[in-house]
Amino acid sequence: MTLRDTEHFSRAAEQCHVTQSTLSAGLAELENVLDVKLVERSRRGVFFTPLGEEVVRRARDLLADAEAMVEVTLAAQRPLTGTVRMGVIPTIAPFFLPAALPPLRDAYPELKLRLTEATSQTLCDRLHAGTLDVVLYALPYRCGEVEEAVLFDDPFVAAFPGADKRDGAPLPASVDPDAMDSRTLLLLEEGHCLRDHALAACSLPDVDHSRSILATSLHTLVQMVDNGLGVTLLPQLAIDGGILNGTAIETVPLARTAPPRLIGLVWRKASPRSDEFRLLARALQACHEGQPIAAEVPAA
């Protein structure tokens, strides 16, 4: 697999901590045993045959299954031990994880979190492909056959440019989300679930792209508001995480209760580590509430 990843014998040998001749001899022996050609060698490099690609794919699956077997065995003895591959969406990761990870590490020092940041759909695809174990994202979101644990509510507030960017016009004490003008409402690009949640909070259909300015990230969205390009709805989690630091943006509460986004942890329903992931969900919930994490043992 390392040879496939590097496509270079010397680099693969170095990563495997063997000599190049040992790696080459081992590959030749494998081809002799299987009586097939797995690799083509030329002056231009190393090329895997179609059968070689299939053997590499199956080898990766076998190693993943072996790792999962070890992790499940360890989890049965000690909770949250070993590697957990967790996907997190960009509108949660930088605002929640910096405060949550230290107490989580203290409570479960043998837990190794491998974090991936991407959009909800990408993370759901990777979850069902088996390359992620859990996903931390905003509900509701259709992610297929998953088990979910709601951690906490994340309400929205209205964000306006500072007084100098709105000609000193006073802000209202509260804002009716249904009355927000879609022509001045700034949103994230499609693919970000925060966009859909913001539209739902305002009871708005999707906006006309030709009349809208769309941001690629929440930090870009904040900068657009700070420069007087419009208004937006921001999740309280991001505000508590300091996203408005260094800006003149002013926030106003919503006049009525708008549907918040729900921060949740999800995993495949068939996962053998479901009990362990429920522990992880409770630990993350305690982190948000500022409560100590009660180290638990998964149910037998």
pLDDT in tens, 257-279: 677 889 999 999 988 899 999 99
Residue 22 located in a structural domain: yes
Instruction: Tell me how far apart the alpha carbons of residues 22 and 118 are, in angstroms, rounded to a whole number.
Output: 39
Token pair for 106: 């203290």
**Shared-domain flag, residues 133 and 194:** no
User: Which of the residue ranges 144-153, 157-166, 167-176, 208-217 would you say has the lowest mean pLDDT?
Assistant: 208-217
User: In this structure, which amino acid lies at residue 92?
Assistant: I
More confidently predicted of 222 and 54: 222
98: Cα within 13 Å, side-chain hemisphere? 7
**For range 171-192, the mean pLDDT:** 76
**Shared-domain flag, residues 137 and 279:** yes
pLDDT of residue 207: 54
**Shared-domain flag, residues 173 and 230:** yes
DSSP result, 46-68: EEE-HHHHHHHHHHHHHHHHHHH
**Shared-domain flag, residues 126 and 180:** no
**Shared-domain flag, residues 238 and 281:** no
**Shared-domain flag, residues 99 and 52:** no
pLDDT of residue 294: 76
Nearest Cα to 138, choosing from 256, 266, 257? 266
CATH of the domain at 33: 1.10.10.10
**Shared-domain flag, residues 268 and 125:** yes
Which residue range is the domain that position 36 belongs to?
Answer: 2-65
Whether residue 109 has pLDDT greater than 70: yes
Note the Cα 25 to chain centre separation in Å: 41
pLDDT of residue 73: 64
**Shared-domain flag, residues 240 and 269:** no
Q: How many domains does the chain have?
A: 3
pLDDT of residue 213: 66
pLDDT of residue 87: 97
Token pair for 136: 């931390």
To the nearest whole number, what is the mean pLDDT of the chain? 83
Contact 80, 279 (CB under 8 A): yes
DSSP result, 223-270: HHHHTTS-BEEEEHHHHHTTTTTTS--EEE-BSS-PPPEEEEEEEETT
Whether residue 142 has pLDDT greater than 50: yes
Q: Determine whether 125 is exposed, middle or buried from the number of CB atoms within 10 Å of its CB (0-12, 13-18, 19+).
A: middle
Whether residue 191 has pLDDT greater than 70: no
Token pair for 44: 């231009």
Contact 196, 223 (CB under 8 A): no
Instruction: Tell me how far apart the alpha carbons of residues 69 and 80 are, in angstroms, rounded to a whole number.
Output: 14
Whether residue 10 has pLDDT greater than 60: yes
Neighbours of 132 (CB within 10 A): 22
Contact 292, 286 (CB under 8 A): yes
- Condensed to tens digits (0 to 9), the pLDDT of residues 216-259 reads 788 999 999 999 998 888 999 999 999 999 999 999 988 766 77
More confidently predicted of 187 and 248: 248
pLDDT of residue 4: 74
pLDDT band at 54; cut points 50, 70, 90: confident
**Shared-domain flag, residues 56 and 128:** no
Residue 12 located in a structural domain: yes
CATH of the domain at 177: 3.40.190.10
Contact 249, 160 (CB under 8 A): yes
**Shared-domain flag, residues 237 and 203:** yes
pLDDT of residue 211: 47
pLDDT of residue 237: 94
Residue 271 located in a structural domain: yes
Q: Directed axis angle between helix 9-16 and helix 20-34, to 10°? A: 100
**Shared-domain flag, residues 50 and 123:** no
